[in-house]
Each structure stands twice: as C-alpha cells, then as structure tokens.
Amino acid sequence: MPVEETPVPRNRTNLPVLILGLLTLCASANAQTQAKAIVGYVFPQGAALHAGDMDAAKMTRINYAFANIEKGRLVQGFPSDRANLALLRGLKRDNPNLTILISVGGWLWSTHFSDVALTARSRSVFIQSAMEFLKSNNLDGVDMDWEYPGMPGAGHPFRAEDKQNFTLLLKGLRTALDAESARTHRRLYLTIAAAASEEFLAHTEMGRAQAYLDTINLMAYDYCEPGSDATTGHHAPLFTSPADPRKASADATVQAYEKAGVPASKIVLGVPFYGHVWSSVPDRNHGLYQPGKPASSPDASYREIVATMLGHGYLRYWDSAASAPYLYNAAQRTFVSYEDPESIAAKCNYVKSHELGGVMFWQYGNDPSGQLLAALHKWL
C-alpha cells in the first residue's frame, strides 16, 4: 500500500514567523526580568574604600553618598571622595554594565537646595557645577537627594515654591545631561531619592517631574521610628497590616506614587540594610504594636543584628500580613524591626509582579557579609 502523506497545514508557511514571534516574546520577557535595577548606596563618610569591599557583580548601579552644596555649587563631601570614586569606577572591569552616580544632599546636607532651585540663574550655576563634577570624575549621572522640597527635613530652609522649582531644576539637569550624551554617545542618568509619604507627594510635582528622571528611588523605610513613634511597629513593611495603627506600607506608597502619575517602571523600591530598636516593650504580641521607648542605640545595622541579636536571646517572628520580620527579647523587653532575606524575597517578587523598575538599598556598609545583597541578586 502506498504510504499516506501527512496532511500539511495550509498555514505552514507562517510557522517560522510564529516561532520567531514566540522567541521574540520570550526574549522580551527575559530582557524585562534582567533589566531590574539593583541600586546600592555607598556611604563611607570620609573613610577610604578598598578593593574587595564591594561585590560589583550583584549591582547594576552605585549611588555614592554624598556630595555637598557650597555657594550654590555641587562640591565633594570629603577629601577621600575622588579616590573612592576612582576605585568604584574600577569595579566596571568586573561588571561593565555597572553605573556610578553621585548622590547630592541627604538628610543633613540638603540645606542649600531651596536656594539652588530658586531662580534660573541659581539653577544654571548648580547644573554647570554638576556637569563639571561628572566629567572630572568620569561618572554616569546624578542622584538628587533633597530632603525635602517644601518641608524642613532636618531643619533646612524651605519655600512653598520649592514644589515648582524642584521640577525646573530636574528639567534643567535633564537637558544638560542629554546634551552631553548627544556629544559623547554615552548615556547619563538622573535619579532622585524620594520620601515614602503623602506629604512628599503634596509638596512635589511627581507626575511632571518623573518625565525628566530615569528612576525614582523610593525610600520605603522608616515608616516607624523609635525617636518619633512611642508604639513599636515595622519600619519597612511590604503590605499594610490591619493591626498596624499607622496603616503604612511600601505597597500603599507605590500605589500613591502611581496615582500621582509616576509609571511603575520608574519606581525603584527601597529596602533598609538596618533596623530600629525599642526598649521597655511589654511582652504582649511578642512586642509588636506595643508601647516602647528608643533603645540606647535605636538603630542597628544588619551586621549588628546578626552578630549580637539573632541567637543571643532574641527570637525572630514573621508577620505574614505585613510580610515583615521582627525580633523580641522578652528578658530585655527589647523589640527590633528589620529586613532579612525572607522579606527581601517577598519584595523582589512584588517588584517583578508589579513591574517596578527594581530595588534600591541603604546602605552597603551595613551588611559587609553580603547576605542581603545576595538575596536581592538571587530573587531579581
């Protein structure tokens, strides 16, 4: 009997196109996964960095903190900064895709931002100095950490018109960076550190300002602090727990930023490499949402938490509603809110499922063991 031929689909000539399309979709999805930013703040405070201090392969961007402002110009913060920046540039040998940005201001050095942003002339002076600083240090961009427009922050001068002037300052910086990129064919970045509060959104024009920014580093931590809050709580909860009297969380802040007009892809979710510590906390609910006082050392780096608390009388608990860990020492009546690899995994999954731009952390020196960075790298 003759062998029957297998029927050929009429659209068989389109199969290569279909396959190509599927491969393109897969490549696109993979590219989106790989494109998540891992941004680490490095804050040596005058100390010299050394080769081997940092795992460059696990980060996509380093924000070097902080440059200062003097006479309206961006200036280096410490004498060791130039050498430190040179060392960081050297990390590109291990990770050619790594970018190095200078972060300007911060909690204590935001004093002159309102004056810098005030007029076209003052903005021009600052922008020119920023471009000169980038060129002389061969950096990839600027991270503006104004804490905060229209608000005193750590007691800094502020004005109502900071709201509009901040946008104008960012617009001017973007124009200058783009002009330099057109000349050199090298991409330059502009980012900001942004507070996780409705008050910050009310005093800025994030819907307009985001157009000039590559990413917004959302400081989604310090929601609850011993010096400000007489009741314990999570200082970096992913979700809002019904039991939390503050009703605050990273998720709620992300939604507020999106509502304000910021695309999800530009939001980089901040995670803390440190914890907050309360004392005199009664042994109820393992110390969570209980009255307390600031401990003698109210802040603790992840290094300190691992070395002196975990396994040293402190028991770890997990709040599934908030996706956050915490510690309690019943004998010492001490409560600790912090970040750990499990909560980082949850946040990385949130970043991917909500199509955010990536994750930022403050700051590298708080975890020299690299445990938290390894978790970020693994899950992103």
Domains assigned to the chain: 35-272+339-379 (3.20.20.80)
Cα–Cα dist 360/37, whole Å = 8
Low-confidence ranges of the chain (pLDDT < 70): 1-34
Question: Which residues are part of the catalytic machinery?
Answer: 147
Phi and psi dihedrals of 118, rounded to 5? -65, -45
Q: Is the pTM of this model over 0.85?
A: yes
Token pair of 343 as six digits: 């909560």
Cα–Cα dist 6/122, whole Å = 77
CB contact at 8 A, 72 and 127: no
Taking only the tens place, the pLDDT of each residue in 297-308 is 999 999 999 999
CA dihedral over 154, 156, 162, 167, signed as positive or negative = negative
Cα–Cα dist 312/151, whole Å = 41
- What are the residue ranges of helices labelled H in the chain? 15-34, 81-90, 113-116, 120-137, 162-184, 198-202, 206-209, 250-259, 302-308, 341-353, 371-379
